[in-house]
Chains A and B, each alone.
Chain A
Amino acid sequence: MSEKRLLLGDEAVALGALHAGLSGVYAYPGTPSTEITEYIQRSPLARERGVRSRWCTNEKTAMEAALGMSYAGKRALVCMKHVGMNVCADAFVNSAVTGVKGGLVVLAADDPSMHSSQNEQDSRFYGKFAMVPIFEPSDQQEAYEMVAEAFALSEALRLPVLMRLVTRLAHSRAAVEVGEPQAQNALAPDDERTRWVLLPGNARRQYASLVAKQADIEAAAAKSRRNACKGGWNDKKPLGVIAAGIAYNYVRESAPAGLPVFKLSQYPLPAHQVQELAAHCASILVVEDGQPFVEEQVRGILDASYPVQGRLTGELPRMGELTPDCVAKALGQEGGPAFAAAHNLAPRPPQLCQGCGHRDVYAALNKVAAEYPDARIFGDIGCYTLGALPPFRAIDSCVDMGASITMAKGAADAGVHPAIAVIGDSTFTHSGMTGLLDAVNDGSAITVIISDNLTTAMTGGQDSAGTHKYEAICLALGVEREHLHVVVPLPKNMDEITRILREEIEYRGVSVIIPQRECMQTLGRKLRQKKAKEQ
């Protein structure tokens, strides 16, 4: 145990999983979780061991496949960004009812402050909801070590373990001391059918077993070395702190000497340790990134009159990620800027790359939409969401993966016309296909644009599940041949694209237009690689 490597939090999780004898990672790309799977895909150890690592179509297929691998006795990892938990929730919650065989770790990377997301939902609620253990490492070293602990606990309790990261740990690099790889599990499918066939009779038994395991997961958290009392707990203090996950680092950055701190990295929240801290301190400040998950529970554990501070009482901001600054302020420490904000400063929002095919799609759409004052354009999640910003200002909605098609359909049902959906290739296979089938079955008057750049671009150019299959998928779902068009989004083709758009808007049924041209980023990368090979 001596080698040190400079790793992102994501990479520490990946290497931790590989060293814990991982047999498969299942994931859909999503910031800030993407680098976990990418690390495994590049890892020579993973190749040597035949670790399964291709991208999945969405988080639900990922979660189910991982459960299947666990059923077969092997260790599996599922990775996603926080909103991916919504997509796989059915499989995730029920995997706690069936239980697991090989260790199963579900990693959710939360994005408080919404750096690259549409909300800041806190995945710990999912863990509590599904009644499974939750691990929340505070730094890269713990991220590496706790993956192995999560696999071991998963197998000991026969439950999936949820591991939660936040952006600032997922995307921060530090030196990590790494150990030796363990062997992978042997193939050993589970023979206990009554666990896995969740007919009501079996499900009631399995749920009773899950309820009975709650005492064990509480005991595991209460004795976890990841949960620790730091600072002076001897005499009565005015203030004590509960610091969850990465919050522990911010507290340490500015905590006065002797401040009693309960460092929390494994859940359920150990009630006894909370009571003990309260017995030593006149008040408690709860510091946690995301929503007030611990803070609300602490209020339930302690007397109503006991003063609990945190995001709900205003000592910390109600929303947004923690910073060393807001934590220092909550601890009553001096600090803050020496220089005021600059005057000569303008926001610089992200934008579509020069030469990007989405630009040509929006140029055409805006041209045609200007002819239809009632037109509504329903957007989706990906680089093309930037079409909402100037200079295009082209889309009217962006809610969740796949919602462009179904919202356009519902709006068309209500009488909106033209109702146009814009969705990327990867988002279409992730969650758009089923909605398109609904629209076809209803004969909804919608125009769907699948803007196909042959990759999952927003997250850095990962393989897209349906590349070269979009026409076949649309035809198979029942889109009529004469209302399915593939075009090349380039300025020289603008007349053709706008003509097709006008015709299909006039058609009162489902039409699909697929502008298809490779992403500038992946194209550039391929050219650079080719050049490097030639040299």
Chain B
Amino acid sequence: MNKRDIKLSGVGGQGILTIATVIGEAATAAGLQLKQAEVHGMSQRGGDVQSDLRLATDAICSDLIPLGQADLIISMEPMEALRYLPYLAPDGTVVTASHPFVNIPNYPEESALLAELDALPHVVRLDIDALARERQLPKSANMILLGMAAPFLGLLSEEQLRAAIARVFAAKGDAVVEANLQAFDLGLSHSQQTVSK
């Protein structure tokens, strides 16, 4: 394996760019090549947002991921995970939050949406918002999601990701670093249990 193409998605304000920042930090420290296309501007106002993150051991050409080639979709919202299915590789994995963020009148029916997700070959989903609330980590739901995605990131180890979390949040103090590491571990163990089933 010499590349990982990752689609990050969610709704403006959910913190997908922080996930990208942590993966980017880990990849840079590991000496990997990286390109990350972000969306700024109008679409951040409660609309759908996405970012293309490409990691590789060799030079990366396009800033955008071609259709059918994403190894991983990481989404903070279940419908936003489905939005990028045409980009998913045949053996790709979807890692997503399962709780809908409903800010539009015509949001699809939740059970049908989750059924469509579950019909995909490789899916890990979890109500990360509920778990974050339960564990009193309200601001770290996105790091739970990153932990869930960690076993599928391939080019980066769990330890490299933990070290990157520590560096990215260092300026905010030890308590914030600790909360985010704890959230990461929660997500990681969820994925490990799901996959081993």
Interface residues of A in 104-131 (CB under 8 A from B): 115-116
- Nearest Cβ in chain A — how far from B112, in angstroms? 5
B35 & A383 in contact (Cβ 8 Å cutoff): no
B42 & A174 in contact (Cβ 8 Å cutoff): no
Annotate B11-31 by CB proximity to A: 1 below 8 A, 0 otherwise: 110000000000010001000
B34 & A250 in contact (Cβ 8 Å cutoff): no
B86's nearest neighbour on chain A, judged by CB, is A337
A353 within 8 A of partner (CB): yes
- Nearest Cβ in chain B — how far from A141, in angstroms? 11
B46's nearest neighbour on chain A, judged by CB, is A351
B37 & A345 in contact (Cβ 8 Å cutoff): no
CA distance A460 to B41 in the complex (A): 7
Interface residues of A in 205-221 (CB under 8 A from B): none
A338 & B68 in contact (Cβ 8 Å cutoff): yes
Among B103-111, B127-135, B177-185, the stretch that binds chain A is B103-111
A171 & B38 in contact (Cβ 8 Å cutoff): yes
B63 & A249 in contact (Cβ 8 Å cutoff): yes
CA distance A351 to B103 in the complex (A): 9
Annotate A162-185 by CB proximity to B: 1 below 8 A, 0 otherwise: 000000110111110000000000
Among B87-95, B144-152, B162-170, B187-195, the stretch that binds chain A is B87-95
A344 within 8 A of partner (CB): yes
| Chain A residues with CB below 8 A from B64, complex form | 168, 250, 323-324
B89 & A338 in contact (Cβ 8 Å cutoff): yes
A52 within 8 A of partner (CB): no
A173 & B24 in contact (Cβ 8 Å cutoff): yes
A323's nearest neighbour on chain B, judged by CB, is B64
A350 & B46 in contact (Cβ 8 Å cutoff): yes
B88 & A349 in contact (Cβ 8 Å cutoff): no
B67 & A253 in contact (Cβ 8 Å cutoff): no
A-B contact count (CB 8 A): 153
B174 within 8 A of partner (CB): no
**Known interface pairs A343-B116, A350-B47. Does A172 touch B86 (Cβ–Cβ under 8 Å)?**
no
B37 & A337 in contact (Cβ 8 Å cutoff): no
- Nearest Cβ in chain A — how far from B98, in angstroms? 13
B116 & A458 in contact (Cβ 8 Å cutoff): no
A175 & B28 in contact (Cβ 8 Å cutoff): yes
Which of A253, A346, A348 is in CB contact (< 8 Å) with B62? A253
CA distance A337 to B48 in the complex (A): 21
B41 & A459 in contact (Cβ 8 Å cutoff): yes
| Chain A residues with CB below 8 A from B106, complex form | 346
B43 & A115 in contact (Cβ 8 Å cutoff): yes
A114's nearest neighbour on chain B, judged by CB, is B42
| Chain B residues with CB below 8 A from A257, complex form | none
B33's nearest neighbour on chain A, judged by CB, is A175
A171 & B82 in contact (Cβ 8 Å cutoff): no
A31 & B68 in contact (Cβ 8 Å cutoff): no
A413 within 8 A of partner (CB): no
A473 within 8 A of partner (CB): no
Chain B residues within CB distance 8 Å of chain A: 11-12, 24, 28, 33-48, 60-68, 79-80, 82-83, 85-90, 92, 103-109, 112-113, 116, 120, 172-173
New A-B pairs, 20, CB < 8 Å, besides A31-B42, A171-B37: A32-B40, A171-B38, A172-B37, A172-B38, A175-B34, A253-B62, A337-B88, A341-B86, A343-B112, A344-B82, A346-B79, A346-B107, A348-B46, A348-B79, A350-B42, A350-B47, A390-B105, A458-B41, A460-B41, A535-B173
